[in-house]
A and B are shown apart, each in its own frame.
Chain A
């Protein structure tokens, strides 16, 4: 094994001074490490990654500057978590009784407002799917309170509904899969709750459980 003599390259013109270079290099090294931890995954996390992402030296940096993206960058995983969702509020008591308000109710600034409501609906759905019902309830309560206040209503039902995507092989003879993808047959309830104002003026929420079909024992 013959070692080749090493000749260091001449320093490039225009580099910053060695002290500045050392300090910047250290900061860059820390940043690249944070970038690697934050962007090595977006979906599945190992316990080590969870620990690192919550570490006191790393969490403030990657979370405040949004270096760690939390949105689903895989765009779809084929599950209900990736489907389109919508929010609607049915007024059950009050001046607007019987009215169903689909959010966004206004067409002003349609695309950006629609996008935000779609994201809010998906958040309610995802927290519900993942079992974080207290978070779904917090959002549903805020939405319900707003509709109660807007129309001077007494009670509403807030629903988060999922647009089930059409199957690729479409059998239109099957009533469950109509040709129109916006047909109500494709809508399913993901989360629904009754929201009302109590005697003290406080907004209350009670989740409505879907009726389950139970087969008879005999």
Chain B
């Protein structure tokens, strides 16, 4: 009996260890992280550029949000300033320097999007985005944390391997043709993808659980309260006021979808359906709430679950793969298991 229990635990720990290694360290096609880099890069550029309007009005000395006001409000202990909210913008209050830093920030985000010196510009873009967020945390809403974490995870991956200037430069080097016949699979690309997938799944579950903590989502009236916000909505859908059951169904549908996405996205069969539904759900949500950036980014984040081979075919980039089915996911005896997103 004791022997059997010992064997059981030996098998359990070994299986967990192997599962862990397979989940995190199976090399993946970096095309998916490269695609996500472009999405995160465009979002980062849009985010930083959006500060151009009224940059000095907000952040310069005597602006709407002076540094000392923000620091005082955010401080955890009196007189200590805001903890863990470092931003280089806290040290700049002259309009000239602020504009110089802003232009530099935009340039860095553009280079990251284009994929030039990606390893360096990824980290630099993260610092730029975090600096704008931490300079005025009260102006950050649902969009900013998603953007920051997306770039954070991409920093650990070879996200400049494809769809990038770095790749064009590498191709020009002598002997480059020899290495372009098949995708360079990388375990760090898989780690980044898994981190993104885990985070997205946890975020969906958190959104669903938080909604379930509020009576208005249980009672089915939450979508009405969102529609009735006259200033933030993009489209006035209050003509639906007489369709109580539709409002109720929409409210419950949102919670159900978020729960399902968080849990079932790991199921290969349910994945395409959930990604498709997420486009519909977040488009409607953007119209009702006006949270356009957040809705676009979280929908696009679903691409973390799309295998590199599928994205390649969408972009006509499968010519990078050798003509004999050189994609390692097809050569792997375990079939789809080798694809990071699968």
CB within 8 Å of B: which residues of A? 1-4, 6, 8-9, 12, 14-16, 21, 24-25, 28, 31-32, 35-36, 39-44, 59-60, 63-78, 82-84, 86, 104, 106, 108-109, 112-113, 115-116, 118-120, 123, 127, 135, 138-139, 141-143, 145-146, 149, 163, 165-166, 168-170, 181-182, 186
Contact = CB atoms under 8 A, between A and B. Distances in A.
Given A15-B187, A24-B191, A109-B50, A77 B221 contact: no
Interface stretch (B52-60, B90-98, B109-117, B158-166): B52-60
B84 A41 contact: no
Interface stretch (B13-21, B268-276, B310-318): B13-21
A158 to B, nearest CB: 11
Contact of A84 (B203, B231, B244): B231
A70 B140 CA distance: 9
Given A35-B198, A35-B202, A71-B142, A1 B73 contact: no
A146 B62 contact: yes
Interface string B184-210: 010100010001001100110111011
A63 B84 contact: yes
10 contacts: A14-B26, A66-B145, A70-B145, A77-B214, A84-B232, A115-B290, A168-B247, A170-B241, A181-B228, A186-B230
B222 A142 contact: no
A151 B11 CA distance: 76
Interface in B102-159: 130, 133-134, 137-142, 144-146, 148-149, 152
Interface stretch (B31-39, B63-71, B167-175, B301-309): B63-71
Contacts of A149: 62
Given A42-B207, A65-B152, A75-B211, 12 more contacts: A6-B7, A15-B25, A43-B213, A44-B213, A67-B145, A83-B229, A118-B231, A135-B73, A146-B57, A146-B64, A149-B62, A163-B231
Contacts of A181: 228, 230, 238
Contacts of B185: 14
Contact of A65 (B72, B73, B149, B229): B149
Nearest to B244: A168
B335 to A, nearest CB: 14
In the complex, the 6 A-B pairs of residues with the closest C-beta atoms, listed nearest first: A109-B53, A78-B216, A165-B228, A14-B27, A112-B50, A84-B231
Interface of B: 1, 3-4, 7-8, 10-11, 14, 18, 20-22, 24-27, 50-54, 57-58, 62-66, 69, 72-73, 83-86, 130, 133-134, 137-142, 144-146, 148-149, 152, 185, 187, 191, 195, 198-199, 202-203, 205-207, 209-211, 213-217, 221-222, 224-226, 228-232, 238, 241, 244, 247, 289-291
A43 B224 CA distance: 21
Given A43-B210, A43-B214, A69 B238 contact: no
Contacts of B64: 120, 142-143, 146
Contacts of B51: 112
Given A41-B209, A119-B141, A120-B138, A64 B18 contact: no
B18 to A, nearest CB: 6
A101 B262 CA distance: 45
